[in-house]
Every structure is written in structure tokens, then in C-alpha cells.
Amino acid sequence: MLLIACPWCGPRDEIEFQHGGPSHLQRPEPFDAVSDEIWGEYLFFRDNPKGVQKERWLHAYGCRRWFNLARSTVTHEVLAAYRMGDPAPAGLLEPPATGGLA
């Protein structure tokens, strides 16, 4: 069971939340110059990383606001929660540069 820290409400149980796919996807522009390939890529293709993913969550049974989470898809560890529109916190998202647990 995850404990997720909503940026507005604080730590709450995972059953209050809904996962909403990866964050920071940029809609390609201008609309009349977007090819089928670029549009298909934007709509459907995903990094689906085995590791840290930045993703959108909705506090569905709480404040009903969207926010971002940096979460490991391997351990499910939540590394950071930050508001929509904020940049992803630096440093958290890269794997340790030197051998991890050494």
C-alpha cells in the first residue's frame, strides 16, 4: 500500500488517488503542421520506464486536484510529489551516479 503525499492535503492512502499517465507530455504544435507520425507518437507512444517515472495523479477522493509524482515503477517508492506546472525536482530523477549502495 502506498502512502502518497498530496501537495495540498498531505500524506494519504493510495486508494484515495487515481493514476493518470506520464507527466510533462508536450502537445506538438502548430496543429496544422503536425504529421500523422508525430501525432501518433504523442497520443500513444510512451517511455514506460523500468525505473523512475514522472506521472500525473488525481486526488480523486480528497481535494480532487491533479499533481505530479516521481515514483519508481520497480520498487513503487514515491520520490517526490510536486504541483502541476512546477518543474520536476532536480537530482531525484537520475539513478545514483556511483554504484548505489557502495
Q: Summarize as ranges the residues that interact with another protein (CB under 8 A).
A: 1-2, 14-15, 18-19, 21, 36-37, 39-41, 43-50, 53, 55, 71, 73-76
Task: Report which DSSP code applies to 39.
Answer: H
Q: Name the minimum Å distance from CB 16 to another protein.
A: 10
Q: Give CA–CA dist 88/54, Å, rounded.
A: 8
Contacting residues for 53 by C-beta, under 8 A, at least 6 apart: 22, 47, 70, 71, 72, 73
Instruction: Report the residue number, 2 or 93, with the smaller CB distance to another protein.
Output: 2
CB of 38 or CB of 92, closer to another protein: 38
- Nearest distance from C-beta of residue 86 to another protein, angstroms: 21
Smallest gap, in angstroms, from Cβ of residue 21 to another protein? Answer: 8
Q: What are phi and psi of 32, to 5 degrees?
A: -85, 0
